């Protein structure tokens, strides 16, 4: 039976709803609905014209059916017809149907707009409100086009009814959100702001939402709202609980409006006018005071409304971050809430304290609550509250309490909910790194993480521990000892095996003196885990084994035997098989020296932001994805992982076949930043025989967070710096310094060094190239004791270069403190061969004076050389093939430097080509071969340098498959010797 049927009941509708409710099964319901749809369709199509009532009833039934979750594909026209009915309820149903069912690109929108236009001009406030509600509900662009001009007029007109004003304000807000370009306040601005003074509280409540949104976008135009908002707030806060009549809610005067006023003020800095500010501080103090007063009602609504205002006030206090007294009071108030019996309040207090923890004024005050927060982490029954507690612990952590907090988080992790474990792991890892005084504590913490929550330890975490161990020799012995012990456990997490394999492979020698961890014991321990591991881990272990052969010659025969076994050398997995074959070969043919070079200890990693931090930011970042999407991402990650398994381990097979002396052998240093698709197993095979070690940079590549995402993070993070003060930006970049060509030449044969130095600034450079990709680290050092402000750098590719190089820069911090250094990463992709160098423009203010200088970025075509080894016969055959006159470029020039063979060799190696021995019949001459890798094509190049010691002259000849390349290389090189 239908319950109350208020207003004009539609009996047919009630019967239909009852029928649906009585359906015993989903099938029965669908049957009943289909019957009804057929009936309505026939009514709408029938010859007999329907009266308004029937039309209304059927449209309402369709609406009901739609809201049940079924699709509706007719009835729209009938609904539109209802809009022009004179009968209010018919009009009302028509508007409701359209609000719910019509999407913005409907063809009917023109008809609807017509009906709305009529109602807006009807001067009947009820009709006007209906029309405004419809616009606010649909909010389409077409509606904005039709009405964005009219509504502001309605909003500020003197004769508009209050209720219409309220609808108009929020209607405009909705249109502004969908089409900000169409809503122009212009001349109305000040009258809209003055709605804050309106006598009708409802009008103020509606208008303030609009004003807040507009203020966020155009703070300057609306800044007069600040003093109006403060006086309105002050009047509300000081009013007695009954003054505001129906706007008082459970003894709290106008809680919604108060919250909105406080929110509006958060769009602005503290008021400059002393009187306004004083009044505001008074309000905030009153709000804080009221929190201490006994409640006027026991109802939860009373305390919620009161505390809603309190929390909003605290947000404002935190936003200002300038009133230590208020900040500390806020903190104390939140401290009380931490132990409140209302779960909601505990949750909000934890959340709000998180932001207080980052203020220098209240950080210490927040820290005093550590025990309560730890207790919350342990005892709260609601996971979302525990999550907040974990967040707060993370936020309040500093050097003084890091050990305690990390220990508590670790112990919580053992019982933590699955949903938050990964994030907890990241946080523990970050805190452990950030506040590590001694790194053995850090290593212990991470190994504990793997032990406790191995499944949730993402790659970033275990990569990071390896990076740190490699970079800090004081902890390497300890790390080796600790992983060795951890691996003793019968059941080890695979991540532990990875870390163990890597660290013992690098530093097992540091504990080999102890007979309990002798080389063979270490190897057997690792190998006992081998068969339990996945392919990527096995690949990593194989690399560790070959490193063992180098570290401990006595293990060679044992390991060779393992490599030789069918399960390795004939493994069905291509990557494993390849490694086994190549490592076996390497260990048997390479001399000890070569082996020692190839398998040398990892060089230190360049210092950079922890990839874990980037990951956490990503998780927390705006627009954070839902758990579902995260899981999808994870699955995807696994799939990728499967595809690029070769990349997971330290040493690449291809190094073994061509140890090219200029590349860092273990590929640890290079990261192709804009790296293309991961190499497939197939391409790995090919690469063994080519010079290009596609996968020899794999390990580090995995260590890097995905480039795209870190980019976007950065972009978001430093959005402000992007729009740095116009004064600096508007200055044209200076022309390149006269010496910039010379500076460029300095870097033709080397990748690292000081690019530029004057009295203020030093620019260091470190770069790495692989294939057609390069990454450059620029280090800007402030040599003075005064900070550089509005520091901006821009890299441009003049002219043609734009289509030849793809250069991406990350934004640098706009501020460099005196004596400090900031780093900038530049990713370079060579699309096709090029002549010019990109320009680097640097602008900053030093003591008010604008510094503006432009340099050439030392990116030259030879950076993209891949060395090619070849025998004498091949060399001359190719030389002959490149015999067309334009393919050759030659220069004879006087030596600028001493003609020292070793120096020459080093330079030629630095050039990036392979220096071929025993090729040229004249041993005094040098010949080189290489392939320039660009995205568009590969350009093979050969070089011959003939020194004439007597005349102190050189003859330099270059032959390339492309004439411009020969020319350019010749020019570049002629300056080098």
Between 651 and 690, how does the x/- string for binding to another protein read (CB under 8 A)? ----------------------------------------
Q: Smaller CB distance to another protein: residue 347 or 462?
A: 347
Stretch that binds another protein, among 23-31, 245-253, 635-643, 909-917 (CB under 8 A): 245-253
Q: Is 215 among the residues that bind another protein (CB under 8 A)? A: no
Contacts with another protein by CB under 8 A: the residue count is 90
Among 37, 60, 276, 576, binds another protein (CB under 8 A): 60
Q: Is 623 among the residues that bind another protein (CB under 8 A)? A: yes
Distant-in-sequence, close-in-space partners of 347: CB < 8 Å, separation ≥ 6: 382, 384, 385, 388
Q: Is 381 among the residues that bind another protein (CB under 8 A)? A: yes
Among 254, 327, 406, 452, binds another protein (CB under 8 A): 254
The full DSSP string for 905-922 is: HHHHHHHTSEEETT-SSS
As a whole number of angstroms, the longest Cα–Cα distance in the chain is 115
Stretch that binds another protein, among 24-32, 73-81, 200-208, 854-862 (CB under 8 A): 200-208
Q: For residue 477, how far is the Cα from the chain centroid?
A: 35
Q: Is 67 among the residues that bind another protein (CB under 8 A)? A: yes
Among 30, 77, 625, 820, binds another protein (CB under 8 A): 625
Picking from 975, 938, 976, 977, the residue whose alpha carbon sits closest to that of residue 960 is 938
Stretch that binds another protein, among 404-412, 462-470, 625-633, 687-695 (CB under 8 A): 625-633
Q: Smaller CB distance to another protein: residue 295 or 798?
A: 295
User: Segment 857-886, which members bind another protein (CB under 8 A)?
Assistant: none
DSSP state of 680: P
User: Segment 267-326, which members bind another protein (CB under 8 A)?
Assistant: 301, 304-305, 307-308, 311-312
Q: Is 219 among the residues that bind another protein (CB under 8 A)? A: no
Q: CA 895 to CA 892: how far, in whole Å?
A: 10
Q: Is 170 among the residues that bind another protein (CB under 8 A)? A: yes
Q: CA 171 to CA 190: how far, in whole Å?
A: 19
Among 116, 148, 185, 249, binds another protein (CB under 8 A): 249
Among 62, 96, 317, 970, binds another protein (CB under 8 A): 96
Q: Is 385 among the residues that bind another protein (CB under 8 A)? A: yes
User: Segment 101-130, which members bind another protein (CB under 8 A)?
Assistant: 103-104, 126, 129
Q: Is 3 among the residues that bind another protein (CB under 8 A)? A: yes
Q: Is 202 among the residues that bind another protein (CB under 8 A)? A: yes
Query: What letters, b where the CB count within 10 A reaches 16 and e where it falls short, cover 821-846?
Result: ebbbbbbbbbbbbbbbbbbbbbbbbb
CA dihedral 261, 263, 266, 271 (to 10 degrees): 10
Q: Residue 33 Cβ, how far from another protein at the closest point, in Å?
A: 13
User: Segment 174-193, which members bind another protein (CB under 8 A)?
Assistant: 174, 177-178
Q: Smaller CB distance to another protein: residue 256 or 530?
A: 256
Q: Is 46 among the residues that bind another protein (CB under 8 A)? A: no
Among 189, 205, 495, 868, binds another protein (CB under 8 A): 205
Among 74, 88, 418, 893, binds another protein (CB under 8 A): 88
User: Segment 393-412, which members bind another protein (CB under 8 A)?
Assistant: none
Q: Residue 216 Cβ, how far from another protein at the closest point, in Å?
A: 11
Residues 541/575, Cβ–Cβ less than 8 Å: no
Residue 815 has a CB neighbour count (10 Å cut-off) of: 15
Q: Is 263 among the residues that bind another protein (CB under 8 A)? A: yes
Q: Smaller CB distance to another protein: residue 301 or 752?
A: 301
Helix (H, G, I), strand (E, B) or coil at 249: strand
Q: Smaller CB distance to another protein: residue 28 or 596?
A: 28
DSSP state of 845: E
Stretch that binds another protein, among 379-387, 516-524, 649-657, 892-900 (CB under 8 A): 379-387
Q: Smaller CB distance to another protein: residue 209 or 794?
A: 209
Stretch that binds another protein, among 136-144, 487-495, 526-534, 658-666 (CB under 8 A): 136-144
Among 243, 382, 514, 607, binds another protein (CB under 8 A): 382
Residues 110/140, Cβ–Cβ less than 8 Å: no
Q: Is 53 among the residues that bind another protein (CB under 8 A)? A: yes
Picking from 83, 75, 67, 77, the residue whose alpha carbon sits closest to that of residue 107 is 77
Packing angle of the helix pair 535-551, 494-507 (nearest 10 deg): 20
User: Segment 719-748, which members bind another protein (CB under 8 A)?
Assistant: none
Q: Smaller CB distance to another protein: residue 5 or 741?
A: 5
Residues 716/829, Cβ–Cβ less than 8 Å: no
Packing angle of the helix pair 681-689, 574-589 (nearest 10 deg): 20
Q: Is 348 among the residues that bind another protein (CB under 8 A)? A: yes
Q: Is 631 among the residues that bind another protein (CB under 8 A)? A: no
Q: Smaller CB distance to another protein: residue 133 or 290?
A: 133
The first and second tokens of residue 561, run together, are 């035997």
Q: Is 209 among the residues that bind another protein (CB under 8 A)? A: yes
Q: Smaller CB distance to another protein: residue 40 or 703?
A: 40
Residue 217 has a CB neighbour count (10 Å cut-off) of: 11
Q: Smaller CB distance to another protein: residue 254 or 958?
A: 254
Q: Residue 49 Cβ, how far from another protein at the closest point, in Å?
A: 16
Residues 764/779, Cβ–Cβ less than 8 Å: yes
The full DSSP string for 455-475 is: GG--HHHHHHHHHHHHH-HHH
Q: Is 964 among the residues that bind another protein (CB under 8 A)? A: no
Residue 726 has a CB neighbour count (10 Å cut-off) of: 9
Q: Which residue has the tokens 């709290």?
A: 252
Residues 960/887, Cβ–Cβ less than 8 Å: yes
Stretch that binds another protein, among 32-40, 672-680, 720-728, 794-802 (CB under 8 A): 32-40
Residues 648/540, Cβ–Cβ less than 8 Å: yes
Among 155, 206, 539, 859, binds another protein (CB under 8 A): 206
Residues 682/889, Cβ–Cβ less than 8 Å: no
Q: Smaller CB distance to another protein: residue 129 or 192?
A: 129
Helix (H, G, I), strand (E, B) or coil at 744: helix
Residues 855/756, Cβ–Cβ less than 8 Å: yes
Among 55, 232, 329, 346, binds another protein (CB under 8 A): 346
Q: Is 344 among the residues that bind another protein (CB under 8 A)? A: yes
Q: CA 825 to CA 776: how far, in whole Å?
A: 6
Stretch that binds another protein, among 227-235, 244-252, 576-584, 939-947 (CB under 8 A): 244-252
CA dihedral 679, 680, 685, 690 (to 10 degrees): -30
Picking from 519, 452, 517, 466, the residue whose alpha carbon sits closest to that of residue 488 is 517
DSSP state of 624: P
Q: CA 531 to CA 542: how far, in whole Å?
A: 12
Stretch that binds another protein, among 23-31, 251-259, 736-744, 899-907 (CB under 8 A): 251-259
Q: Smaller CB distance to another protein: residue 37 or 826?
A: 37
The first and second tokens of residue 693, run together, are 């070690």
Q: Residue 227 Cβ, how far from another protein at the closest point, in Å?
A: 23
The first and second tokens of residue 220, run together, are 């300057």
Q: CA 732 to CA 519: how far, in whole Å?
A: 64
Distant-in-sequence, close-in-space partners of 333: CB < 8 Å, separation ≥ 6: 288, 291, 310, 314
Q: Residue 318 Cβ, how far from another protein at the closest point, in Å?
A: 12
Q: Is 909 among the residues that bind another protein (CB under 8 A)? A: no
Helix (H, G, I), strand (E, B) or coil at 855: strand
Q: Smaller CB distance to another protein: residue 351 or 575?
A: 351
């Amino acid at each position: 039976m239908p319950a109350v049927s208020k207003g004009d009941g539609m009996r047919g509708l009630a019967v239909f709803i009852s029928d649906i409710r009585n359906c015993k099964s989903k099938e029965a319901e669908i049957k009943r609905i289909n019957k009804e749809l057929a009936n309505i369709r026939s009514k709408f199509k029938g010859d007999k014209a329907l009266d308004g009532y029937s039309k209304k009833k059927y449209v309402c039934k369709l609406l009901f059916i739609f809201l049940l979750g079924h699709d509706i594909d007719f009835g729209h026209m009938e609904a539109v017809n209802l809009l022009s009915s004179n009968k209010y309820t018919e009009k009302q149903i028509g508007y409701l149907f359209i609000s719910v069912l019509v999407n913005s690109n409907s063809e009917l929108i023109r008809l609807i707009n017509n009906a709305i236009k009529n109602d807006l001009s009807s001067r009947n406030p009820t009709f006007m409100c209906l029309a405004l509600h419809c616009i606010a509900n649909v909010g389409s662009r077409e509606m904005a086009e039709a009405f964005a001009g009219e509504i502001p007029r309605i909003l500020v007109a003197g004769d508009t009814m209050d209720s219409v004003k309220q609808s108009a304000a929020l209607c405009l807000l909705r249109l502004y959100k969908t089409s900000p370009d169409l809503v122009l306040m212009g001349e109305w601005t000040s009258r809209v702001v003055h709605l804050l003074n309106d006598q009708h509280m409802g009008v103020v409540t509606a208008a303030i939402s609009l004003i807040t949104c507009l203020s966020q976008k155009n703070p300057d135009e609306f800044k007069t709202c600040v003093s109006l908002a403060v006086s309105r707030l002050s009047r509300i806060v000081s009013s007695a609980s009954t003054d505001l009549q129906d706007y008082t809610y459970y003894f709290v005067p106008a809680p919604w409006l108060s919250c909105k006023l406080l929110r509006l003020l958060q769009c602005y800095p503290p008021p400059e006018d002393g009187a306004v500010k004083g009044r505001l501080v008074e309000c905030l103090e009153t709000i804080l005071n009221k929190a201490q007063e006994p409640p006027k009602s026991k109802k939860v609504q009373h305390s919620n409304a009161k505390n809603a205002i309190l929390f909003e006030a605290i947000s404002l206090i935190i936003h200002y971050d300038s009133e230590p007294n208020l900040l500390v009071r806020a903190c104390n108030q939140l401290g009380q809430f931490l132990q409140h019996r209302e779960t909601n309040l505990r949750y909000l207090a934890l959340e709000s304290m998180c932001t207080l923890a980052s203020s220098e004024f209240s950080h210490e005050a927040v820290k005093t609550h550590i025990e309560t927060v730890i207790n919350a982490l342990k005892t709260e029954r609601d996971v979302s509250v525990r999550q907040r507690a974990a967040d707060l612990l993370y936020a309040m952590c500093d050097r003084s309490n890091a050990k305690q907090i990390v220990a508590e988080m670790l112990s919580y992790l053992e019982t933590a909910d699955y949903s938050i474990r990964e994030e907890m792991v990241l946080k523990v890892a970050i805190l452990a790194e950030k506040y590590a005084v001694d790194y053995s504590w850090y290593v212990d913490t991470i190994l504990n993480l793997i032990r406790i929550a191995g499944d949730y330890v993402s790659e970033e975490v275990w990569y990071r521990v390896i990076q740190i161990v490699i970079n800090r020799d004081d902890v390497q012995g300890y790390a080796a000892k600790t992983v060795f012990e951890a691996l003793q456990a019968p059941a080890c997490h695979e991540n532990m095996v990875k870390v163990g394999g890597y660290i013992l492979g690098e530093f097992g020698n540091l504990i080999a003196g102890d007979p309990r961890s002798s080389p063979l014991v270490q190897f057997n321990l690792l190998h006992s885990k081998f068969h339990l591991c996945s392919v990527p881990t096995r690949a990593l272990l194989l690399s560790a084994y070959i490193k063992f052969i180098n570290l401990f010659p006595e293990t060679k025969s044992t390991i060779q035997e393992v490599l030789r076994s069918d399960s390795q050398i004939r493994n069905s997995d291509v990557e494993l098989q390849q490694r086994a074959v190549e490592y076996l070969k390497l260990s048997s043919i390479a001399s000890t020296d070569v082996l020692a070079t190839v398998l040398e200890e990892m060089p230190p990693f360049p210092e950079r932001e922890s990839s874990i931090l980037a990951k956490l930011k990503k998780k927390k970042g705006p627009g954070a994805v839902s758990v579902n999407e995260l899981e999808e991402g994870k699955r995807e990650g696994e799939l990728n992982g499967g595809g690029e398994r070769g990349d997971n381990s330290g040493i690449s097979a291809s190094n073994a076949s061509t140890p090219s002396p200029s590349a860092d052998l273990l590929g640890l240093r290079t990261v192709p930043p804009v790296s293309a698709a991961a190499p497939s197993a197939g391409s790995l095979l090919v690469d063994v025989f080519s010079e290009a070690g596609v996968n020899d940079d794999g390990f580090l590549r995995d260590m890097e967070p995905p480039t795209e995402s870190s980019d976007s993070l950065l972009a978001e993070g430093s959005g402000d710096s992007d729009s740095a003060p116009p004064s600096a930006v508007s200055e044209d970049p200076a022309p390149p310094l006269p010496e910039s060509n010379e500076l460029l030449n300095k870097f033709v044969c080397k990748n690292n060094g000081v690019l530029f130095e004057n009295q203020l600034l030093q620019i260091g450079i470190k770069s790495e190239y692989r294939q057609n990709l390069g990454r450059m680290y620029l280090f800007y050092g402030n040599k003075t004791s005064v900070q550089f402000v509005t520091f901006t750098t821009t890299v441009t590719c003049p002219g043609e270069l734009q289509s030849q190089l793809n250069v991406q820069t990350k934004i640098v911090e706009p501020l460099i403190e005196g004596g400090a250094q900031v780093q900038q990463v530049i990713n370079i992709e060579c699309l096709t061969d090029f002549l010019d160098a990109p320009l680097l423009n640097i602008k900053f203010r030093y003591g008010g004076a604008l510094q503006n200088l432009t340099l050439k970025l030392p990116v030259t075509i030879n950076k993209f050389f891949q060395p090619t080894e070849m025998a004498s016969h091949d060399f001359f055959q190719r030389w002959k093939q490149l015999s067309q006159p334009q393919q050759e470029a030659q220069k004879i020039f006087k030596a600028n430097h001493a003609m020292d063979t070793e120096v020459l060799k080093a330079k030629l190696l630095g050039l990036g080509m392979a220096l071929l021995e025993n090729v040229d019949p004249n041993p005094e001459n040098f010949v080189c071969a290489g392939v320039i890798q660009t995205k568009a094509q590969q350009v093979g190049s050969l070089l011959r340098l003939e020194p004439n010691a007597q005349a102190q002259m050189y003859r330099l000849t270059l032959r390339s498959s492309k004439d411009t390349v020969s020319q350019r290389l010749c020019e570049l090189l002629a300056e080098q010797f």
